[in-house]
Amino acid sequence: MSPETDTYQRLTNSQPGKLLAGRLGLPKSTPLRRYEPGQELLTGPALIGAAPGGRLDGVVALLLRECGAEVATSADEDTRYGALIFDASGVEDSTQLRAVYDFLHPVIRHVHANGRVLVLGTPPEAAATPRAATAQRALEGFVRSIGKEIGGGATAQLLYVAPGAETAAESSLRFLLSSRSAYVDGQVVRVGHGPATAPVDWAQPLAGQVALVTGAARGIGASIAEVLARDGAEVVCLDVGAMGEELSRTANRIGGSALQLDITTPDAPATLATHLRERHGGAGIVVHNAGITRDKTLGRMTGDAWDAVLGVNLSAQERLTDALLADGGLVADGRIVSVSSMNGIAGQRGQTNYATSKAGIIGMVQALAPVLAERGGTINAVAPGFIETQMTASMPIGTREAGRRMNSLAQGGRPVDVAETVAWLGSPASGGVNGNVVRVCGQSLLGA
């Protein structure tokens, strides 16, 4: 969907519109910078600071220099920063949280449009003492508040890195600092131990991978297929027979292959597992994206509408996953990424069936994370918020405008924003990211 469709954003970014919006106190909606191959990582220099005992500031500084970014370690009031990065991993007591304030307070108003604030911590569950765990958990409230204050299309995230997993954090640092994470805001991501293989070329992080994407004919699934192919993967695009034409178009556009299959049929798991094993030697990345809605409030919802949504969105995924894990459809250290939804977290009127299925996806991801970890693999979920698709374009204007503005970035996301997040989670370099649920929602107020 073209950005021109967001008339509010266009008007409030024109000179007279800006003035009027400011006077009326309307939400500011800054056009987001999105990834293009060859783009600079940051929009300006990075300022890095650390509390005593930090394990991560050195890793980040090295990475940024490798990426050609300018790195400063002391603040300069005339500079506008592309990123403010604070390593709080060494904070062991609530009294030491003052260090985060001291670092960010003088510079928080000196962040470029579309800049990044990144706080690094130690996962509370891995902290050495109850006091350290308390202080580390406190960082969540800080970062989520920065996300709501910062404006200008800038985002704030908290990255918890387990002790000893410092090098496994690279793919997540690159994602969260770059414009690939344009619509990811106010999130908490955990990096743990897991075999993370850095790619030969970070511009092609999925080179040599085979990826399966369900529901790839159109919408978010087509965008996921495109981004995975752009990043170097060979993509198998799956959708129902009725979408055959659109499916072939997506597959042809990206040089992938098309597989017509209804994932709810009894033989779908075996057919898919055999296809991936025999034609491709197993997939390295499986993206469960196919999904449907059949909205009605519970009292008016038919049993068929309940069954259809639970069937496609949850039970079929479980059956496919079991089959792929059992007989080589997914390679041993493969990645699974499931598309959940913000409504699975927050609940939604008229969507008891849909929200049940999408909350179930989160349950599945969390329950299977240890199973995948044993094989050297990972499973994670993305939970999109308001994404500009044909579905949202046909909403009544009031509902659509409310959905667009009720988040820290005051706009809807695009399918590509979900796709970039899936590509990061699906990467061989993201082996330390397992069992996470990452919202792609511009820090929506719903379910926060």
Q: What residues act catalytically?
A: 354
**C-beta separation of 151 from 119 below 8 A:** no
Instruction: Tell me how far, at minimum, the Cβ of 32 lies from ligand NAD, in Å.
Output: 16
Instruction: Tell me how far, at minimum, the Cβ of 361 lies from ligand NAD, in Å.
Output: 9
Instruction: Tell me how far, at minimum, the Cβ of 391 lies from ligand NAD, in Å.
Output: 5
Query: What residues pair up with 379 in beta bridges, in sequence order?
Result: 336
CB atoms within 10 A of CB 106: 11
Q: Which is nearer to ligand NAD, 207 or 346 (CB)?
A: 346
Instruction: Tell me how far, at minimum, the Cβ of 392 lies from ligand NAD, in Å.
Output: 5
198, 168, 177: which is closest to 48 by C-alpha?
177
Burial class, 333, CB count within 10 angstroms (exposed 0-12 / middle 13-18 / buried 19+)? middle
Q: Which is nearer to ligand NAD, 81 or 183 (CB)?
A: 183
**C-beta separation of 327 from 277 below 8 A:** yes
SS3 349: coil
Q: Which is nearer to ligand NAD, 230 or 439 (CB)?
A: 439
| The CA-based dihedral angle spanning residues 402, 405, 411, 414, taken in that order and rounded to the nearest 10 degrees | -40
**C-beta separation of 252 from 282 below 8 A:** no
Q: Which is nearer to ligand NAD, 115 or 426 (CB)?
A: 426
**C-beta separation of 433 from 422 below 8 A:** no
**C-alpha radius of gyration, the chain, whole number:** 22
Instruction: Tell me how far, at minimum, the Cβ of 268 lies from ligand NAD, in Å.
Output: 8
CA angle 24, 25, 28 (to 5 degrees): 120
Q: Which is nearer to ligand NAD, 291 or 428 (CB)?
A: 291
**C-beta separation of 48 from 87 below 8 A:** yes
Q: Which is nearer to ligand NAD, 218 or 249 (CB)?
A: 218
Position 236, amino acid: V
Q: Which helix (H) or strand (E) holds 230?
A: helix 219-230
Instruction: Tell me how far, at minimum, the Cβ of 281 lies from ligand NAD, in Å.
Output: 23
Q: Which is nearer to ligand NAD, 122 or 348 (CB)?
A: 348
Instruction: Tell me how far, at minimum, the Cβ of 132 lies from ligand NAD, in Å.
Output: 36
Which residues, at least 6 apart from 295, have a Cβ–Cβ distance to it below 8 Å?
A: 350, 351, 354
Instruction: Tell me how far, at minimum, the Cβ of 307 lies from ligand NAD, in Å.
Output: 12
Residues at the site binding ligand NAD, with contacts judged by CB under 6 A: 214-215, 217-221, 239-240, 243, 262-264, 289-292, 312, 339, 341, 384, 386-387, 389, 391-392
Which residues, at least 6 apart from 227, have a Cβ–Cβ distance to it below 8 Å?
A: 416, 419, 420, 422, 423
Burial class, 96, CB count within 10 angstroms (exposed 0-12 / middle 13-18 / buried 19+)? middle
Q: Which is nearer to ligand NAD, 306 or 386 (CB)?
A: 386
State the Cα–Cα distance between residues 21 and 30, nearest whole angstrom: 13
| Residue 216: φ, ψ to 5° | -90, 0
**C-beta separation of 84 from 117 below 8 A:** yes
48 token code pair: 């890095």
